[in-house]
A and B are shown apart, each in its own frame.
Chain A
Amino acid sequence: MSREILQVSDLSMRFGGLLAVNGVGLTVKEKQVVALIGPNGAGKTTVFNCLTGFYKPSGGTILLDGQPIQGLAGHQIARKGVVRTFQNVRLFKEMTALENLLIAQHRHLNTNFFAGLFKTPSFRRSEKEAMERAQYWLEKVNLTEFANRTAGTLAYGQQRRLEIARCMMTQPRIIMLDEPAAGLNPKETEDLKALIGYLRESHNVTVLLIEHDMKLVMSISDHIVVINQGTPLADGTPEEIRCNPDVIKAYLGEA
């Protein structure tokens, strides 16, 4: 099959005396959808924060294409093509949907001070391309008519979609979604599923997600990693996870 893009081994994160993540490992192959599940407080978001450089992991290695990235700053990791969404949507609320998408393209644009000051042809071209890309993704997430609305005034589901579109503007290789279906209605969840499928098929993006909606997780994932109280519990295909006794016990409690 395709090659491994992200390899995490023995990842641990300690906050003072609390060991929030202990020895978690996961391997993600290109164009896979991998889900990270576990009960509340299991340390899933902490793993995400370590992977995206928001926390500096206390131990373990994270290899992106075989290159270690642990300990790099958040923006450096994002520049390598690993971007994320947040559990509680983090849009630029006072700015319009379109501007949100333009900002995300920052490092692909002509940021030369004098080019912008005198509107050189290369600057105009770069801005035009940015607008076109933004327009393309606005269409893909059905937000074209809201392009000039400030992001904070959009409905919750729309904000979630805009956040995913914003990630895609950075032309990522891995997109990490933190509970993308939280607060969505069944119809919106279906749309989300289609969108994730589309990202993978048409834009060669690898998807790593945290999600509590088991129906979504089971139907979309190629591989599932379960963690419980910071430690890895199980690891396998959706079928294997579904009938793993440890997982059932962790989720439902002992009979």
Chain B
Amino acid sequence: MNRNLKQAFFSALLVWAVAFPVLGLKLSIDGISLIVHSQGSFTISIIAVCSILMFLRVLFDKQWSSVMGGGSDRKLIPPSVSNFLTLPKTQRWIILGLIVAALIWPFFGSRGAVDIATLILIYVLLGLGLNIVVGLAGLLDLGYVGFYAVGAYSYAMLSHYLGWSFWVCLPIAGLMAATFGFLLGFPVLRLRGDYLAIVTLGFGEIIRLFLRNLTDWTGGPNGISNIPKPEFFGLTFERRAAEGMQTFHEFFGLEYNSINKVIFLYLVALLLALLALFVINRLLRMPIGRAWEALREDEIACRALGLNPTVIKLSAFTLGACFAGFAGSFFAARQGLVTPESFTFIESAIILAIVVLGGMGSQLGVILAAIVMILLPELMREFSEYRMLMFGALMVLMMIWRPQGLLPMQRPHMELRR
């Protein structure tokens, strides 16, 4: 009882320690100095009530869990359902259903919704790419956003200086990012685990600072603006075409409608995401995909079997970077503007969170997690101040309820012929 009491007291104190500085204090500017004052008795009393509730909750922990019906024995989802959902076959059907839905709905959705969906698709693409590196090959890469930036700037600069179109630049941007992945991978991949994470984090920042300080070419902190949008076989989606060009609505004899442009961008993003989905799906069933997973499991055993770990790691790193390059060049086209500030560490963290949240190595999981991670903040714009708080809460809840991710995938069964 004594120990319980101590624990309960400590928990209540913790509530104060966490909540008071965040919610109980208010900063205001007075002239040039910053003044801290208390948030008023209402907020303080809410914190007090919370801490008392926490105190009671911890003190009567045993009674509480018996009332809740066995506590930890109860699963959020019954095991049979969970088993069904993690079967590779089920997941394939769900993905097919999602693809069909994704193809149809934008023609009925609102402009804003389609726009958000496009953003989600960019993150799906990024998540799928990082999933190769982190989920399959087990290389913790915290600088993934660097390759995203390389892709974005490749398209931005090629179109700005040389006037090349999106469709020409897309493969080039992918190749550029892949080249960077390959070059950075060489020195970095000798390291393992935490060390790898730190060095990749550094490289991600180096790329961003490089772009920021290369003012003559990249425009420095101002970035590059007026990047043209993708065209549909040479037809633009603008109201008026540049000289010698034709617009989409003129060619098809339609009324000009700005939503056409949004839907077209969405479909391009969908195309890219489907391409990534297809390629990664095939990779998983190829020798190289198996080798990635084997490397994640046991590098020494891989070497003993004649697999060259460096080559396998590099291939994962390069391919992952390549997908980031595609995503980046599309991002630049959609945004029409690239600045170094779009590629900060927080982006890497979000992409990594998508991979981890989805269940490492599961494609459907990544898609769902991307939807959750991008849609939730958009839906709760009013609470945007508490975004990070909710982000943290989500992570903690995931750790407790589904440490394996939203939707992990079981190993595929291979039939043996007799």
Partner-B contacts on A (CB < 8 A): 52-54, 73-75, 78-79, 83-84, 86, 90-96, 98-99, 102-107, 109-111, 113, 116-117, 119, 131, 135, 138, 144, 147-148, 150, 166-167, 170
Q: Which residue of chain B is the closest to A92 with respect to CB atoms?
A: B297
* Known A-B contacts A113-B288, A116-B286, A116-B288; A106 and B306 likewise in contact (beta carbons under 8 Å): yes
Shortest beta-carbon distance, A77 to chain B, in Å? 8
A interface footprint on B405-418 (CB within 8 Å = 1, 0 otherwise): 00000010110110
A106 with B287: CB separation less than 8 A? yes
A102 with B290: CB separation less than 8 A? yes
Query: What residues of A have a CB within 8 angstroms of the CB of B287 in the complex?
Result: 102-103, 105-106, 109-111, 116
* Residue of A78, A96, A111 touching B304 (CB-CB under 8 A): A78
C-alpha gap A117/B294 in the complex (Å): 20
Shortest beta-carbon distance, A49 to chain B, in Å? 10
* Residue of A96, A103, A117 touching B305 (CB-CB under 8 A): A103
A98 with B301: CB separation less than 8 A? no
B307 with A106: CB separation less than 8 A? yes
Shortest beta-carbon distance, A131 to chain B, in Å? 7
A75 with B306: CB separation less than 8 A? yes
A107 with B307: CB separation less than 8 A? yes
A78 with B303: CB separation less than 8 A? yes
B305 with A104: CB separation less than 8 A? yes
Query: What residues of A have a CB within 8 angstroms of the CB of B283 in the complex?
Result: 116-117
C-alpha gap A142/B323 in the complex (Å): 43
B307 with A75: CB separation less than 8 A? yes
A90 with B300: CB separation less than 8 A? yes
Please report the total number of B residues contacting A with Cβ < 8 Å. 28
C-alpha gap A150/B414 in the complex (Å): 12
C-alpha gap A116/B291 in the complex (Å): 14
A interface footprint on B132-175 (CB within 8 Å = 1, 0 otherwise): 00000000000000000000000000000000000000000000
Q: Is the interface of B mostly helix, strand, loop or mixed?
A: helix
Q: Which residue of chain B is the closest to A78 with respect to CB atoms?
A: B306
C-alpha gap A111/B417 in the complex (Å): 23
Query: What residues of B have a CB within 8 angstroms of the CB of A86 in the complex?
Result: 300-301, 304
* Known A-B contacts A98-B416, A116-B287, A148-B413; A92 and B306 likewise in contact (beta carbons under 8 Å): no
C-alpha gap A131/B414 in the complex (Å): 9
C-alpha gap A255/B48 in the complex (Å): 79
* Residue of A53, A98, A103, A111 touching B414 (CB-CB under 8 A): A98
Query: What residues of B have a CB within 8 angstroms of the CB of A113 in the complex?
Result: 286, 288
B298 contacts A by Cβ under 8 Å: yes
Q: Which residue of chain A is the closest to B308 with respect to CB atoms?
A: A75
C-alpha gap A126/B294 in the complex (Å): 19
* Known A-B contacts A113-B288, A148-B413; A75 and B303 likewise in contact (beta carbons under 8 Å): yes
B residues 104-143 in Cβ contact with A at 8 Å: none
Q: Can you report 29 A-B residue pairs in the complex whose CB atoms are below 8 A from each other?
A: A74-B303, A75-B303, A75-B308, A78-B306, A79-B306, A83-B304, A91-B301, A94-B293, A94-B297, A95-B290, A95-B297, A99-B293, A102-B290, A104-B305, A106-B291, A106-B307, A107-B307, A111-B286, A111-B287, A113-B288, A116-B282, A131-B414, A144-B416, A147-B414, A148-B411, A148-B414, A150-B411, A166-B305, A170-B306
C-alpha gap A114/B414 in the complex (Å): 23
C-alpha gap A109/B416 in the complex (Å): 18
Query: What residues of A have a CB within 8 angstroms of the CB of B288 in the complex?
Result: 111, 113, 116
C-alpha gap A86/B302 in the complex (Å): 12
8 extra interchain contacts, Cβ-Cβ under 8 A, other than A106-B287, A166-B305?
A74-B300, A75-B303, A78-B303, A84-B304, A86-B304, A99-B293, A106-B290, A116-B285
